[in-house]
Amino acid sequence: MAETGHSPTSDWAPFRVEPYYDPRVWGFNDLRPWYSYVGAEPIGEVWLTGDQCIVATGPHAGKPLGALFSEASEALLGPGAPSAESPLLIKVIFAREKLSVQVHPDDTLARKFGEPHGKTECWYVLSADPGAQVAVGLKPGVTLDQVREEIHSGTLEESLNPLPISAGDVVLMDAGTVHAIWPGSILLETQQNSDLTYRLYDYGRPRELHIEKGLEAVRLTTRSGRIPRRELVDRTLLIDEKYFRLERFPVSGSRSSASLRADGDPARSLAWLFAAGGAGRITGPDFQAVDLPVRTIAAVPAASPEFAVEDLGGLDLIRITPHWPGVTP
């Protein structure tokens, strides 16, 4: 993996990342109060860790995140990472209208079509209106032939399995699951670093469909659905899956980096700290403090020096860490 050379540990202190506003036809022109964006283009996704996101603080400020991973992957990811790229793409989803009915390929199918990996993801529900739902998988007994017929007849939504959601829920969306996001919720989406989406049905919008690839990707039965949380001694484990782990950490006053590491963690690796509510600050003796306002994210590189997270008022801290298949987590 490429490296820029040995740097003082303070060069790899935690740093905040600027969000990237990704236009989508089904999004909002005004994201307030969640984000400050107001504009002519509707924004459906706020990318928190995309390659085009810009480092906001520290010695690497101003650099695109993708370039930083390319130049200094070991400092960011640790020595056990099998790839120099960011392993996870983290977004906040804002749906003013229904998204397309879609499916994502798994790693094997993605590689068949020349892509490095597929797309398994999960949703952490940040906010949900009463009665909010998403669609997760197909109803029992639905066949691929039926899916094909309903794509062309415009009735595919009738075969989807609706799932009511509330704030704090976690939903696993395994690759191969036919799914849709409907209006009424705001979701923190954590996924493999891929934007591969095969649209099966798009409610008449003039966008490309990917019916044949999509049907090849569809699994009639998957592991997708709501994931029960686990209350541990010092944190809540939201999900621990093949590609990622999400945990919610209470911060009373402040919390040291040692206590933010999971018991039994191997060599340090990259972690993301997301302020789902309130605000925090990351401090340490070897670097300038990094503010973590509400709904922003900070990277904690594998080579980071010790630090502490301070609660500046109502901090709801989510830690997101990657798993690499074949590498012991």
Q: Which residues are catalytic?
A: 199
The Cα 154–Cα 234 span in angstroms is 49
- β-pair partners for 22: 45
The token pair that represents 94 in the structure block:
């804002």
| Cα–Cα distance, 61 to 257 (Å, whole number) | 22
Please choose, from the candidates 94, 82, 5, 77, the residue with its C-alpha nearest in 3D space to the C-alpha of residue 43. Answer: 94
Element (H, E) at 71: helix 65-71
CA distance 255 to 12: 19
Cα–Cα distance list, 188 to 118, 181, 183 (Å): 19, 12, 14
If DSSP codes are grouped into helix, strand and coil, which group holds residue 320? strand
Per DSSP, the residues of 203-217 read TT-SS---HHHHHHH
CA 65/CA 49 separation, integer angstroms? 7
Counts of helices then strands in the chain (DSSP H, E): 5, 21
Answer whether 122's CB lies under 8 Å from 183's CB: no
CB 307 within 8 A of CB 282: yes
CB 59 within 8 A of CB 16: no
